[in-house]
Structure 1
C-alpha cells in the first residue's frame, strides 16, 4: 500500500450540492397524501422497506424512489390508492428531477484548489440523466478530470476507477457524506476514506465508523485541503 496521494474522488449528492432535503420534503408530502390510511412512522418504515427491496431492480435515484412510493401507497391502501394520489406522487418525482442545484459551502473552492496538484474526479450514484443535469448546472463539471456515474460503489468499482484515472486505489482518496458508499468500500479498496457528515442522511447509507488509519472525518470541505496537506507532510516526514 502506497502512502502517495495522486487522485481525489468526490461524491456528488450532499457532498458537492444539496440533495437529501428534497427527498425529505417529498416524503412529508407523501405522508400528507396517505394520512387517512396510516400514521407517519409506519408509512416511512414501509417506504424504507420498499426502497431496500427495489434497489437491486431500480438502483439508486429519484426514479426508483418514486416507484417505491407508488408501491408503498398501493400496499397501505390495500390496493385502493386513488389515481389522484398516484398522480401526485408522479408529479412530486418530476419536481425532484427538476429542482435547482445549490452547491454546499466550500465545494467549488475545495475542488478548484485541489485540482492544481491532484487529479480530481466525481464518482456518484443515481439516475444518469439527473446526475448529468446536476453536474451541468453546478458549474463544476469542467473542473474534474473524470466523471463516473455508477450503479453501486463497491471496492471493485473504486479499484477500477482509480486505476483508470489515477495510479490505483491505494493512492486515491474518496470524499463523501455516505459512510456505507463513500468511505467504507474505498478503505476496503486500499485508499483513504474521508467522511463529510451531512445534516440529513438516508438510513440505507448508515454504517459503522471504520477503525482504520486511512479513515478521516472533517466538518465540511473547507477543511479538506488542510487535511491533505497534513497527510502529505506526514508522508514526507516519514521518509526523511
Structure 2
C-alpha cells in the first residue's frame, strides 16, 4: 500500500502544484470537520475529497477507495465500541439488545447517533488528509516544512522514519521470497516454523540495514539536515474556486444541520 501511495504521489495531475496550496485546503477541511461536528459536514467533505482525488487529480478510484478502506477498518472498531454498550443489567430503553449469559449488549439511539457522527467526522478528515498524501510526495512535504520553519530535527526524523519503513518492507519481501523458494510454506507446520523464523530475524536484519544506511549518509557528508531539491511549483488557478466551494458548502451544511 505504501508503494502504491508513493507511486501515485509522483504521478498525478496535481504533482507540480505548490504543496502549501494543497496542504491549506486539506487542513481547512479537517478543521471544519472537527469544529462544526455535524454528520452532514463529514459526509459532504468525504464526497468533495473523493471527487478532487479521482476526477481532478486523476488518481485511480480503486487506489483512493483502497486507501480509505484500509483506514475505515480501524475506524470500525472504534465505532462498534461506541455504538454497542455492555452491561450486567437489562437496558430499559434500547433500540436493539441481546443477552449473552449475564451480559447484555444494547444499542441506543443516542449511542448510535454518536457513533455515526464520529464516523462521518473521521472519514471526512481522513479523506482530506488522503488528498494531500496521494498528491504530494515526501520531498514536497519536506520543502513545505522547511518553508514553514519547522525544526531540522523533526524533518530529519520524519525522513529517516519514512525510509526505514521501506527498508523494513523490502527486508520482509526478500525473506518471504527466500522462504517460499525453500518450500517454507508448503505445509501448516512449515508455515509456523517459517513465520517464527521470519519474526525473529526480520527486525535484526532491518536494524543492520538501517545502520548501513546511516553509515552511507555520513560517508556522503550528512550533517544532521536533509536537503532536497525543490521543484518550480505552480499555483493551480482552478483549485482556489474549488476550495472556496468546498469550504462554503461545509459551512452552509454545518449551519443548516
Q: TM-score, normalised to structure 1's length?
A: 0.26
Greater share of residues in helix:
2
Q: TM-score, normalised to structure 2's length?
A: 0.25
Greater share of residues in strand:
1
Of structures 1 and 2, the one scoring higher in RCO (CA 8 A, sep 6+) is 2
Question: Rg larger in 1 or in 2?
Answer: 2
